């Protein structure tokens, strides 16, 4: 079994172990988080409850190639999520101006940022975020877009980031993620 498939099944069957911490609050289970971490006997019941609240029924969805790209490598996953958010922001300044590039460097190296300049759709949006806010805002927007994905295994990947309060872009996710996963 590949690492991506293992991660997908873990998100489906044992979401408490794999999901980002913010999901405990979102699902109304924040009080159970410490019990889950400390008491192994509570985990199966809590995982069932979490899966139920997430709407997981039946077997795990088949992983798409795009979901596999998000599930197999932690560093690449973070880069792809941030790149999705930058795609949705449509602001070239975030990839051109040095303060923004430096702020993005822990998530996207210089080569990835240069590639993104060529890949991102042209937009004329003004830079509204401070450089220090950009990486988290881009990831949050990328996670919101993943939560709105039509493909079930991609939508499941949303659990790897905290729930986003941002609205997902209206455009379909898959074409943007396909292009980004090919080049990043």
What would the pLDDT profile of 24-63 be if each residue is shown by its tens digit? 999 999 999 999 999 999 999 999 999 999 999 999 999 9
State the pLDDT confidence band at 1, using cuts at 50, 70 and 90.
confident
State yes or no: pLDDT of 123 exceeds 80.
Answer: no
Q: Give the Cα separation of 78 and 11 in Å (integer).
A: 17
The domains of the chain are located at 3-54, 65-183
Number of other residues whose CB lies within 10 A of the CB of residue 107: 22
Q: Phi first, then psi: what are they for 13, rounded to 5°?
A: -95, -30
Own/partner long-range contacts of 146-155 (Cβ < 8 Å, ≥24 apart): 146/70, 146/81, 146/84, 146/173, 148/173, 149/173, 149/174, 150/174, 151/64, 151/66, 151/67, 152/61, 153/8, 153/60, 153/61, 153/62, 153/63, 153/64, 153/67, 154/64, 154/66, 154/67, 154/70
Give pLDDT, residue 121.
82
Give pLDDT, residue 122.
78
CB of 128 closer than 8 Å to CB of 100: no
Give pLDDT, residue 140.
95
For the four alpha carbons of 99, 167, 83 and 70, in that order, the dihedral sign comes to positive
């Amino acid at each position: 079994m590949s690492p991506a498939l293992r991660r997908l099944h873990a998100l489906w069957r044992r979401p408490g172990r794999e999901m980002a911490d913010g999901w405990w609050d979102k699902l109304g289970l924040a009080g159970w988080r410490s019990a889950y971490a400390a008491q192994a006997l509570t985990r199966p019941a809590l995982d069932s409850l979490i899966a139920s609240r997430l709407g997981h029924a039946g077997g795990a969805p088949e992983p798409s190639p795009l979901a596999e790209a998000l599930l197999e490598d932690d560093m690449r996953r973070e880069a792809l999520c941030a790149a999705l958010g930058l795609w949705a922001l449509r602001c070239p300044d975030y990839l051109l101006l040095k303060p923004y590039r430096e702020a993005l460097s822990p998530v996207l190296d210089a080569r990835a940022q240069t590639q993104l300049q060529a890949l991102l759709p042209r937009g004329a949006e003004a830079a509204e975020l401070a450089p220090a806010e950009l990486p988290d805002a881009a990831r949050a927007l990328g996670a919101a877009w993943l939560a709105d994905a039509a493909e079930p295994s991609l939508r499941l990947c949303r659990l790897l980031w905290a729930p986003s309060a941002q609205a997902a872009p209206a455009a379909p996710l898959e074409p943007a993620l396909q292009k980004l996963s090919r080049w990043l």
